[in-house]
Chains A and B, each alone.
Chain A
Amino acid sequence: MDSEEELCRRLKAGDPQAFKELVREYETPIYSFLCHRLRERAAAEDAFAEVFVRVWRGIGSYRPQGRLKAWLFTIAHRLSLDLAEKASRREQSLDAEDAQGRPLSETVAGPEPGPEREAIGQETRVRIEAALASLPEEQRQVFLLREYGDLSFAEIALAMDCPLSTALSRMRYAVRRLRGELEGLDA
């Protein structure tokens, strides 16, 4: 992949090949982030497409002030907030049982176990997903932006529109809580 600056220049020029490279490059981190945020595969796929619609729409006016990755994850984060809010309203109105609260593994079932599924046991995966899901919303947001987006805390603070100290304290509490939840699992 070209340097980020060159990729940005090509994207701004409307180069479809550059756009395809960008989507491929960020496919796994953005999709993983959305799956853990939304906890439902179909919703994550739709959101994935919407993130890149917004990227393609906004690239003309994007002014690089940091890493392109931070911009992408800011878009994914804000979209996930909107979707989570809508889902919460829908749940309240329907009061129905759905995928929320179930392990992500149940909603991300594929016909064949992929290599990453074979690498760790299903039980371990379910425990990790349950531990992530048990985090309070804002702690989970920071944790996922850090771990799947590889964003710095300065970038997370910008994405979440909060002070750096707040981003750090949310992560601090998330790690302390996960320490207990993940006890006994080998990493």
Chain B
Amino acid sequence: MHSDEHDDRCLLYHSGELAPEDRAAFEAELAACEGCREFLASLRKASRLAAEAAVEPPHGLAERTSERVLAERGMESPPLFTRRSLGFALAFAALAIAVYVFGPRRAGEQSLNWTNGIERDLARTERKLQALSRDIAVGTDPAEIDSDLRGLEESARKLEKQLL
């Protein structure tokens, strides 16, 4: 019986994402599954037609874009934040998390409020770390990344003080 799982395997087969052993198994399955063959044929047809509908860039687009970007942003591309400062913030965050998980807890400070406060700060630090990763991944404005970094460092320092 043909199912969505069969179609998903067709997609992964077509994109080259099936492991070699799964690929061989799928090819055997394909011979016996008419629904799979039909779906794969539709996929290949859509793919070929999409390739034919590729839009030709206007003449000189790449050159104009390169020149414009290089002229606007300067010939060098040093980010405002450095790898060192990023490493510093990440190391702080990692240290704080490690101490929280593995470090000794001070007797008398194990109250529920204290724990809740730490967890809240820890969650905040993690959120800032995730936001920073997202911004870096999509090339957000360095000024925003700098601001993220400063926030992360501040959170990490605060957390460290509470834990040590």
- A residues bordering B, Cβ < 8 Å? 11-12, 14, 16, 19-20, 23-24, 27-29, 31-32, 35-36, 41, 44-45, 48-49, 52-62, 71, 74-75, 78, 104, 108, 110, 114-117, 119-120, 124-125, 128-129, 131-132, 143, 146-148, 152-154, 165, 168-169, 171-172, 174-176, 178-179, 182, 185, 187
Contact = CB atoms under 8 A, between A and B. Distances in A.
A182 B136 contact: no
B3 to A, nearest CB: 11
B94 interface: no
Contacts of A61: 79, 81, 83, 86, 136, 145
A27 B66 CA distance: 11
Nearest to B83: A61
Nearest to B73: A56
Contacts, number: 170
B77 interface: yes
A55 B139 contact: yes
B56 A75 contact: no
Contacts of A179: 42, 45-46
A160 to B, nearest CB: 12
Interface residues of B, number: 52
B62 A182 contact: no
Contacts of B27: none
A128 B39 contact: no
